Amino acid sequence: MKSGSDLMSLVGSSRYFLGSEKSNLMEMVSDFDLVLTLSSRPPVTGYPAPGYPPSNNPSGCATTAGTGFPYAAPPPRPAYYNPRYPYYPRATLFRRLLAILIAFFIICGTIVFIIWLVLRPRFPDFRVDSLSLSNFNLSSSPSSLISAKWDVRFTVRNPNHKLSIFYDHINAYVFYKSESLSDTTLPPFVQGTRNQTTLRASFATASSYVDDWAVEGINGERKSHGTVNFNVRLLSRVRFKASWWRARHRILSVYCGDLTVGISSNGAGGTLVGGARECRVGI
């Protein structure tokens, strides 16, 4: 009897298990039908896709209010201003003309420098070899007057190897300090290369008026030293010329200073003392 009751309990348990499994299976079938029904419907539009709009902070860090960055906003970059400058055609033309002038002067300077290197022009040399004074007379009353004759001999040398010198016009002057006593004109001449020429100049004056200080100075030197210092100046219009090159005319200045003349005992004449004197030459 006991075994029969156990068998009935086992059968009842099996039925209960099968019934619960059947109910679970029916629920699964219902859920599957619902999924099929929903998937067969068309998709609903008008809603944003998941994850849209994209996040400004993908790292998930806390952001600073009003910046959108996890840290404070960096300082702004310095402003760069590149203005458009106006175009001035006159300024461009002026710059071009200036560049042309500079190039022209550079070319001319280069040519002159090359000519100078080839020719090596030099000033002539002047030397006073002798000076004689005659008919010398001074009077201080009623006015300061002078009478005298000066004869000067020069040696002129052209040191240039490739240039001849043309002396077209020569004026000569004799001074006592800054007071002009007499003047004369010398004949023109030409000096070839490496040439030496003797030049003579004669000055004469008769009862010519001079300043009182000049007469007093001459008398003072003659009484104290027995000598008088005279100065001679030459001004000449010269031109340098080579076989293929000719320079423009220039004024050549020759200054022969402190020419000491020893006055004779009678005071009427004298000659150069101290030997020959070199002169300063320039243009």
pLDDT tens for residues 9-23? 554 555 555 555 556
* pLDDT at residue 69 tops 90: no
Q: Which residue has the higher pLDDT, 14 or 92?
A: 92
User: Which pLDDT value is given to residue 249?
Assistant: 87
Q: Is the pLDDT of residue 1 over 50?
A: no
pLDDT tens digits along 193-247: 999 999 999 999 998 999 999 999 999 999 999 999 999 999 999 999 887 777 7
Nearest to 62 by CA among 72, 75, 52: 72
- pLDDT category at 2 given cuts 50, 70, 90 is very low
CB-count burial class (<10 Å; 0-12, 13-18, 19+) for 74: exposed
Q: Which residue from 114, 109, 118 is spatially nearest to 163, judged by alpha carbons?
A: 118
The predicted-structure confidence for 98-117, as pLDDT tens digits, reads as follows 999 999 999 888 877 776 66
- Would you place residue 276 in the very low, low, confident or very high pLDDT band (cuts 50, 70, 90)? very high
Give the per-residue pLDDT at 93.
83
Q: Map out the domains of the chain as residue ranges.
A: 90-119, 125-282
Q: Which of 50-64, 155-169, 184-198, 206-220 is least confident?
A: 50-64
| Residue 70 backbone zone (phi > 0: left; psi -120 to 50: alpha; other: beta) | alpha
User: Could you tell me the pLDDT band of residue 121, with boundaries at 50, 70 and 90?
Assistant: confident
Cα–Cα dist 122/244, whole Å: 17
Q: Which backbone phi and psi does 132 adopt, to 5 degrees?
A: -125, 140
